Amino acid sequence: MAATTEDQLSQLEKDIRQLQIEYDSYFAGGRKRPPSDTEWRVKTTISKFSEQIGRLKYAQSFRFNNLAARYAKFSEMWRKRLKKTEAGHSAYAYSKVARELDQKRLEEASRQHEAHLHHQTTQVAFSDPRRESEKVQSLYRSMLEAKKAAGQEAGINFEQFHKFVRQKTQQLKKQLGCQQVQYSVSVERGQVKLKAKGA
C-alpha cells in the first residue's frame, strides 16, 4: 500500500533526526565520511514536497515548512563545519566557542522562520454566513488544521463556530457599513488566531 502524505512527512522527520545523529558522529570522529546517503534521501524528499506544496492541506504544509526549515538550519551549520574540516581543521578540534556560535545562529534562524510562519494565513470573506455554510465549513477546517499543527485543542464545535461567524459578521457589517466581512486564520507565536475585518 502506498505511503500516505502523513507517513511520508513522519519518515522525513525521522530521516532528519537520523541525519543529525550521523553528522554529530562524523564530527566527533565516530564516522569516516559524512552521511551523504541519508542527506541525499532528505534532500530528495524535501524537493518532492516542494513541488507539490500547493496540493497539501494547511496542516501538512505547516508541518513540511517546519521540517524543511529545520533541515536548512542544520544543513548550513554542517556545511560550515565541513568547510573547516576540509581546510585542515580536525573534527576533534571543533571548539566549544564554535559550537556556541553555531547554536546562536540556529536560534536566530529559528526565530526568522517563526516570523515567516506568522504570516501564513487562510482568508475567507462572507456576505451572509447563513447562506454560505460551505465557506464557513472551509474556514472552520482551516482553523482546526492550524490548531492541530500547532498542537492545540479545537475548543469549539462547528455549530458554535457557525453561530459566532453569523453574529460577528452581522455586527461588523453594521459597525463598518461594509458589504462583506473577511476572516483570516493565522499562526502567531505558535498560537492560532481568527481575525475579522470589513471587506
Instruction: Give the count of beta carbons closer than 10 Å to the beta carbon of residue 37.
Output: 10
Most confident range, picked from 41-50, 76-85, 132-141: 41-50
Enclosing domain of residue 138? 121-198
Question: Could you tell me which residue, 30 or 164, shows the higher pLDDT?
Answer: 164
Asked if 13 and 86 sit in the same domain, the reply is yes
HSE-CB for 101 with a 13 A CA cutoff:
10
User: What total number of domains does the chain contain?
Assistant: 2
Which tens digits make up the pLDDT trace of 121-146? 678 899 999 888 888 988 888 888 88
Asked if 9 and 105 sit in the same domain, the reply is yes
Domain boundary among 65, 83, 117: 117
What is the structure's pLDDT at 31? 81
Domain boundary among 91, 117, 143: 117
C-alpha distance from residue 23 to each of 32, 35, 135 (Å): 11, 6, 47
Residue 17: is its pLDDT beyond 80? yes
Instruction: Give the count of beta carbons closer than 10 Å to the beta carbon of residue 107.
Output: 11
